[in-house]
């Protein structure tokens, strides 16, 4: 008698979209493990397969203090709240320091890609030339099931070279273990004016530095039209780099990230009272060729239902479902 087998049922394994394949092809030196974790990020959440990303970062409790971060929406004091928000919203990933991830990673195992922030800076001693402390390890990221490590550098700080050297070692270790590397590249320090921290030339330079350091994903702030460096200003004026609109400035930052061949996502910044102001920035990121947003305070400092509506609209804009 022949063996009777039941028909195979269930969901067919998902293949990478052409856009995801194209993005992965830019990282030619990376091993299959790292590319798999990049694919997990790109294939997660509401924007899966589009090449766009919306990530929820919650490192502000360490960086700014708990009351400044969570008092306006007290459920945010609970680490599990942020896991739930990111999952319910359909974010591509959730990024946080060691303590927040350890508190609920097991409870939400496999439900959303995680990024462990390996260094952090507090404002109890808010020096002009900041340098974050390394507060966790690549081994911690592996233990918690993360797809990537996150690391902040402050180009413009007197301690920038130390941060670059720290990043170099941690990135090498992470890649050898098949993890992706996300770099927060935030110009800051005594050599820059406050306006210069988001200047167009400085933002593009910050993206370039992170790319040269081997970042797979780069987080920068949205650039203003200000030009900080005198020698750079001469070039910008001579060449006539377009910078009148935010979309044009985003496009120039993308040029700094290997002509758009590195994933660059843009910070949401401090909480804006107007949802429309957030949406206008998202449209500029989309129109300038950016890959998406890493949006913390504008999400978790709003009541949850409001945050979910906000993130839903942001994702629709990136997906091309809304203008």
Q: What is the pLDDT of residues 267-303, one digit of tens each?
A: 999 999 999 999 999 999 999 999 999 999 999 999 9
| 8, pLDDT greater than 90 | no
Q: Which of 35, 175, 219, 221 is catalytic?
A: 219
Record: fold of 18-318? TIM Barrel (3.20.20)
Could you tell me where the beta strands, DSSP code E, fall in 154-261?
180-185, 217-220
Phi, psi at 109, each rounded to 5°: -55, 125
Alpha carbon distance 49, 45 (integer Å): 9
- Does 1 have pLDDT greater than 50? no
CA dihedral 49, 307, 314, 25 (to 10 degrees): -30
The encoded tokens of residue 109 equal 């195992």
- 121: DSSP letter: -
Check whether 9 has a pLDDT greater than 80: no
Whether pLDDT at 320 is above 90: yes
| Pair 113, 92: CB distance under 8 Å | yes
Q: Do the Cβ atoms of 173 and 31 come closer than 8 Å?
A: no
Model pLDDT for residues 43-65, shown as the tens digit of each residue: 999 999 999 999 999 999 999 99
- 312 pLDDT more than 70: yes
Task: Establish whether 238 is a catalytic residue.
Answer: no
Q: What is the pLDDT of residue 14?
A: 82
Task: Answer yes or no: is pLDDT of 12 > 70.
Answer: no
Mean pLDDT of 227-244: 98
Rounded distance between C-alpha atoms, residue 297 and residue 322, angstroms: 23
Q: Are 252 and 285 in contact (CB under 8 A)?
A: no
Query: Exposure of 92 by Cβ count < 10 A (0-12 exposed, 13-18 middle, 19+ buried)?
Result: buried
pLDDT tens-digit series, residues 134-158: 999 999 999 999 999 999 999 999 9
Neighbours of 321 (CB within 10 A): 10
Q: Above 80 in pLDDT, residue 6? A: no
| Alpha-carbon distances of 138 from 24, 102, 151, 213, 254, rounded to whole Å | 22, 14, 11, 17, 28
Q: What is the mean pLDDT of the chain?
A: 96
Q: Domain map of the chain by residue range?
A: 18-318
């Amino acid at each position: 008698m022949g063996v009777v087998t039941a028909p195979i049922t269930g969901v067919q394994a998902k293949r990478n979209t052409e856009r995801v394949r194209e993005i992965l092809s830019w990282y030619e030196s990376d091993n299959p493990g790292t590319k798999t974790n990049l694919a997990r990020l790109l294939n997660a959440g509401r924007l899966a397969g589009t090449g766009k990303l919306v990530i929820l970062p919650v490192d502000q409790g360490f960086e700014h203090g708990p009351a400044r971060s969570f008092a306006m929406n007290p459920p945010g004091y609970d680490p599990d709240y942020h896991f739930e928000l990111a999952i319910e919203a359909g974010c591509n990933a959730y990024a946080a320091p060691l303590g927040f991830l350890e508190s609920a990673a097991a409870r939400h195992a496999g439900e959303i890609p995680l990024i462990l922030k390996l260094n952090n800076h507090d404002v109890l001693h808010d020096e002009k030339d900041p340098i974050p402390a390394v507060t966790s390890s690549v081994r911690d990221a592996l233990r918690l099931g993360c797809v990537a490590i996150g690391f902040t550098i402050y180009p413009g700080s007197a301690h920038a070279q130390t941060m670059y050297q720290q990043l170099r070692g941690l990135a090498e270790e992470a890649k050898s273990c098949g993890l992706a590397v996300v770099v927060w590249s935030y110009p800051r320090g005594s050599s820059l004016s406050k306006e210069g921290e988001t200047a167009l030339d400085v933002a593009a330079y910050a993206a370039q530095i992170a790319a040269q350091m081997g970042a797979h994903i780069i987080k920068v702030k949205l650039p203003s039209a200000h030009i900080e460096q005198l020698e750079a200003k001469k070039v910008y004026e001579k060449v006539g780099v377009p910078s009148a609109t935010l979309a044009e400035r985003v496009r120039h930052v993308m040029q700094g990230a290997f002509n758009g061949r590195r994933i660059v996502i843009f910070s949401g910044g401090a909480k804006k009272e107007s949802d429309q102001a957030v949406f206008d920035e998202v449209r500029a990121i989309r129109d300038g060729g950016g890959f998406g947003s890493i949006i913390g305070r504008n999400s978790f400092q709003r009541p949850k239902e409001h945050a979910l509506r906000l993130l839903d609209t942001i994702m629709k804009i990136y997906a091309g479902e809304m203008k």
